[in-house]
Structure 1
Amino acid sequence: MSHSPAPVEVRPAGFGSVEVRELSSPDELEELMRVFDDVWRPDPTRRPVGIDMLRALSHSGNYVSGAFIGDHLAGGSVAFLSAPAGEALHSHITGVSRRGRGHHVGYLLKMHQRQWALARGLTTITWTFDPLVARNAYFNITKLGAEPIHYYEDFYGELGDELGGGVDSDRVLMSWALHDELPSSVDGVGSVEALIAGGAVPVIDDSDRSRPVAHHERLDPDATVVVALPRDVEAMRVSHPLDAARWRIVLRDAMSPLLLEGDARRSVRFLRSGHYVFGPAGSGVR
């Protein structure tokens, strides 16, 4: 008996229907590769995943899905079962093409992935993301309610795609507890100025947006900490690549010491203004 959930179909107001379902045929997988190429624009010799690997993952019972707007594939996601065995799924790649933008395709893919994992008795989905990309931080933390748990320097090495901008591939590992309720509010509101006035500590001085500075001496285990991001680092990587590289180093210096484990773990929020907000040490312990 199959554990696969029924296709997820949603009709957001003002848009056509979006259907998410698993993919397995070579033709579908080839189309999925074209979607990923549209998103990442990689070096053809260094694509993020190959057709043979997609076919192997699908055939062996892992997660390979696509989101359709009408007859057109507009996004997709690939994940594989991971440790601890029988508990976790690791989401390797999720992308939405230009056709899919504005149709909630990314959110629907993650909801389908969540349903798929729950149907198999899994409890957690993990994935990595670039912590410099504000829109992805907002989506992962505020909209999905996933938790950042570790900072990895240059996780993949040189990726050779346009979005990465040729700089170190630092990543934050996210953990999504599937039995937790989804966020009831996804506003991500909050005034950074009010937080700082109330005692929160900004650890990145971004008064000169092209030359941010990290202030390690401001880190205090008892303080709420605010970490700023550039508004659009992907555009910055094209127009001002040196500035984007500076932001990479500064964010690494500021953020990696805040993603603690054990009794010192901090809670994490992300504001629409483009700021991480870390609670005091111990505030993220469940």
Structure 2
Amino acid sequence: MRRSGRLIEVRELHEIAEFESVYALFDDIWHFSPGEPPITVELMRALSHTGGYVAGAFDGDRLAGGSAGFLAAGGALHSHVTGVVAGRGIGLALKLHQRRWALERGLERITWTYDPLVRRNAHFNLAKLGARPREYLPAFYGVMEDAINAGDESDRLMAEWRLLDPRVVALARGEPRVTPVPADAVVALADDGGRPVPGPVDAGTVLVAVPADIEGLRRADPGTAKAWRHAVRDVLGGLMAEGRAVTGFSGRTYYVVERT
């Protein structure tokens, strides 16, 4: 994949020095608290040696992203941690490499977790890749103390990427897809001046907003950040617990949730 005229190379990693570089990259991104890294050099070594997934994305000679995952029940790759430096295209290059890697091994699904409050991740995962959330997981990792999560409760969505779904295949080819939103959709959670405001949920399609910048909000206004955490947990988590399906992310603002 090319970025600004430069070739982004993604390849599997196998050497201790490579794993040390990925660990350093992750630490630069998250600034881990002592004893709380999401992965260690030793675990990356073990995953790589036993058939798991450890890869790096290189912008020229510079390591610009890394990802590590393991085989999961049900014939899937679980992508445990992925981190990239700021820059368009690095995350997509890593995900497309994961997809090729999985399909070459007869795996048709990739799963991972992400914070439902981070808009750019929701847009990337649902609109850009075509993944779909399957579970809402409250406080999945407990309270996290790294620089990005800053003591927030670690609610996560479990995303599933069905690699041979026609929508996913089209997106992987670079064909844009837009999630249609019915005219009678209602807003179940709105962003009103930066604060979450619940609305009606009794409709075939409902929209659930997330804040524009939860990471900045955690630093500037922890109380409002906490209000968003609990509002999204109650509304989006509640809808999913009822069996409703998240079918997309619209306008870089709303989860689209439908009755099934």
Both proteins in one fold, TM over 0.5: yes
Q: Deviations over 1:50-102 (max 9, x none)?
A: 11111111111100000001111110100100102xx111000011024xx13
2:237 to 256, 271, 276: 256
> Which residue is equivalent to 2:247?
268
3-state SS in 1 of match to 2:68: strand
Does structure 1 retain, via aligned residues, the 8 Å contact 2:188–2:235?
Answer: yes
Whether 2:13 is the aligned partner of 1:23: answer yes
3-state SS in 2 of match to 1:121: coil
Does structure 2 retain, via aligned residues, the 8 Å contact 1:154–1:168?
Answer: yes
Cα RMSD, aligned residues only: 1.9
Number of residue equivalences: 255
Letter in 1 for 2:77: L
2:226 to 239, 245, 253: 245
3-state SS in 2 of match to 1:107: helix
CA distance in 1, matches of 2:48, 2:129: 25
Q: TM-score, normalised by structure 1?
A: 0.84
> Which residue is equivalent to 1:75?
65
3-state SS in 1 of match to 2:245: coil
Letter in 1 for 2:2: R
2:84 to 92, 96, 111: 96
> Which residue is equivalent to 1:4?
none
CA distance in 1, matches of 2:235, 2:161: 23
CA distance in 1, matches of 2:179, 2:165: 21
Q: CA deviation at 1:188?
A: 4.9
Does structure 1 retain, via aligned residues, the 8 Å contact 2:7–2:59?
Answer: yes
Letter in 2 for 1:137: A
3-state SS in 1 of match to 2:227: helix
Q: CA deviation at 1:257?
A: 1.9
Q: How does 1:24-39 map to 2 (within 5 A)?
A: 24-39=14-29
Q: CA deviation at 1:137?
A: 0.2
3-state SS in 2 of match to 1:17: strand
Whether 2:102 is the aligned partner of 1:117: answer yes
> Which residue is equivalent to 2:206?
225
3-state SS in 2 of match to 1:46: coil
> Which residue is equivalent to 1:6?
none
Does structure 2 retain, via aligned residues, the 8 Å contact 1:67–1:75?
Answer: yes
2:52 to 27, 39, 62: 62
* Structure 2, gaps ≥5 residues long: none
Q: CA deviation at 1:46?
A: 1.0
CA distance in 2, matches of 1:149, 1:107: 21
Structure 1 pair 185–246 and aligned structure 2 pair: CA distance change class (3 A): farther
